[in-house]
Homo-oligomer: A and B are copies of this chain.
Amino acid sequence: MRTVNVGLIGLGTVGSGVIEIFRRHGEQFRTRAGVDVRLIRFADRDSERFVSLGLPVDACTTDWRAVVDDPDIDIVIELVGGTCVAHDVVIAALDAGKSVVTANKALMATSGREVMDHADRQGVDIAFEASVGGGIPIIGPLKHSLTANEIQTVMGIVNGTTNYMLTRMAEDGLDYETALAEAQAKGYAEADPTADVDGLDAAAKIAILASIAFNSRVTLDQVPVEGIRSLKPVDVEYAAEMGYVVKLLAIARRIEEGIDIRVHPTLIRSSHPLAGVNGVYNAIYVIGDAVGETMFFGEGAGSLPAASAVAGDVIEVARHLAKDCLGLVGCTCTEHLSVRDIGDLETAYYIRLEVVDRPGVLAATSRVFADHTVSLASVIQKATGGEFVDLVYVTHRASERSVRSALTEIEALDTVRALGTMLRAEEL
């Protein structure tokens, strides 16, 4: 039986999960994959981890190059994260003729093409199932079972931290700061939550999914992003009254002009399959021209779930190595679709205005929307105490440009104290 040697670089949360999985099931992998897959080398900057993880000292190094250059290593697992060292690790490993398994969304969303090209040139595998949705199989299904479809939509809740926060805001009326503090206390959010709450993590993931789903490369910098920092509990409340749930959605659609892609807090009907996905769970919703609606649900983060995807990729690559089938499915970006400017977006909008409680204000503001051909689906007026009221509009399908110019004009009205919130709604 062919022996496949694996080197693991980065012994953080996911790395320790991978070690745990190999300890539990390493033996079974031999019978299941028909390959003897072995984790034989480990690298991390922090040598404390070698001890805490109970690794044999002589198998460990603080110098990742020692793993990449080791002629006995067939597969390198990159779990360093980020786009600096991780980039060097992955490129060096591929150039050394080794296949690579990574969970690195940032790297794949920024340098995916470069990484794929290196793998292609070397005729090795690059696998990255863990980069999106933790343990949820989504990249595999898109590249294999669903490959006969023209994918029209791939859309999801792909960040567990913000979904936990939004769930708490919706269920118990917590404000942003309290929800964040709670998420941090539970270890769901990092000390610096920027990547999560500002939507960058979700943006990287949807860039990867869109690239595969639409067979056309989309990079992180092409994804318009809005996070949840400015979201108010009152908006979640009003949305609920109108039959919506607010989720941080990562949305990608194939449209006539190319690709519509974006990340922002979004109102979706409470009857939509994604509306029931709460807490730290993730779900990716896919519509294909043949398969119709599908959804993939599971734990989007955490040590073992992400490690499950990494280990699955390792076994897959090991099978390919043993049967001399590397490079079976390389880069699938065979088309060149352009990404639509968000200004050209047409969707429904939720708009909350803080206005003076005086006759004629509703008429005046509604008038402005009409002047910009933004037609209104519903409006509710809410007393907020004192001389002000909230005017909450949901529009019919309108262009982002028209809505924005209407809002600029409305802001100038002396009866309008402030533009409260503008959220996009998905009418599914």
Residues of chain A at the chain B interface (Cβ within 8 Å): 17, 20-21, 24-25, 28-29, 31-33, 129, 135-137, 140-141, 144-150, 215, 273, 276, 281, 288-299, 302, 304-305, 307-309, 311-316, 319-320, 323-325, 327-329, 332, 334
Q: How far is the CA of A329 from the CA of B325 in the complex (A)?
A: 12
Q: Which of B29, B290, B295 contacts A305 (CB 8 A)?
A: B290
User: A29 touching B328 by the CB < 8 A rule?
Assistant: no
Question: Given A145-B129, A148-B315, are A293 and B304 neighbors across the interface (CB < 8 Å)?
Answer: no
User: B21 touching A148 by the CB < 8 A rule?
Assistant: yes
Q: Which of B29, B137, B292, B307 contacts A298 (CB 8 A)?
A: B292
Chain B residues within 8 Å of A332, by CB: 32
Q: How far is the CA of A249 from the CA of B307 in the complex (A)?
A: 30
- Considering only CB atoms, which chain B residue lies closest to A31 in the complex? B334
User: B150 touching A140 by the CB < 8 A rule?
Assistant: no
Copy number in the complex reads: 2
Q: Which of B17, B295, B324, B334 contacts A290 (CB 8 A)?
A: B17
Chain B residues within 8 Å of A288, by CB: 135, 308
8 contacts between A and B (CB under 8 A): A24-B150, A24-B290, A137-B144, A141-B141, A144-B312, A148-B314, A292-B302, A297-B297
- Considering only CB atoms, which chain B residue lies closest to A310 in the complex? B148
User: A135 touching B294 by the CB < 8 A rule?
Assistant: yes
**Nearest Cβ in chain B — how far from A292, in angstroms?**
5
Q: How far is the CA of A316 from the CA of B142 in the complex (A)?
A: 12
User: A308 touching B146 by the CB < 8 A rule?
Assistant: yes
Chain B residues within 8 Å of A293, by CB: 281, 297-299
User: A147 touching B315 by the CB < 8 A rule?
Assistant: yes
**Nearest Cβ in chain B — how far from A169, in angstroms?**
19
- Most B C-beta atoms less than 10 A away, residue of A315, A316, A332: A316
User: B147 touching A290 by the CB < 8 A rule?
Assistant: no
**Nearest Cβ in chain B — how far from A112, in angstroms?**
17
Q: How far is the CA of A31 from the CA of B215 in the complex (A)?
A: 10
**Nearest Cβ in chain B — how far from A212, in angstroms?**
11
With A136-B291, A145-B308, A290-B305 given, can you name 12 additional A-B contacts, CB distance below 8 Å? Answer: A135-B291, A137-B146, A144-B312, A276-B276, A288-B308, A290-B307, A290-B308, A292-B299, A292-B305, A319-B328, A319-B329, A324-B325
Chain B residues within 8 Å of A291, by CB: 135-136, 298-299, 304-305, 308-309
Q: How far is the CA of A309 from the CA of B147 in the complex (A)?
A: 9
Q: How far is the CA of A31 from the CA of B334 in the complex (A)?
A: 7
User: A148 touching B298 by the CB < 8 A rule?
Assistant: no
User: A136 touching B294 by the CB < 8 A rule?
Assistant: yes
Chain B residues within 8 Å of A296, by CB: 294-297
Chain B residues within 8 Å of A31, by CB: 215, 334
Chain B residues within 8 Å of A297, by CB: 273, 293-297
Chain B residues within 8 Å of A28, by CB: 150, 215
User: A295 touching B294 by the CB < 8 A rule?
Assistant: no
Chain B residues within 8 Å of A149, by CB: 25, 308
User: B147 touching A137 by the CB < 8 A rule?
Assistant: no
User: A32 touching B215 by the CB < 8 A rule?
Assistant: yes
Q: How far is the CA of A315 from the CA of B324 in the complex (A)?
A: 19
User: A289 touching B32 by the CB < 8 A rule?
Assistant: no
User: B299 touching A311 by the CB < 8 A rule?
Assistant: no
Question: Given A293-B299, A299-B293, A308-B291, are A137 and B148 neighbors across the interface (CB < 8 Å)?
Answer: no
**Nearest Cβ in chain B — how far from A188, in angstroms?**
15
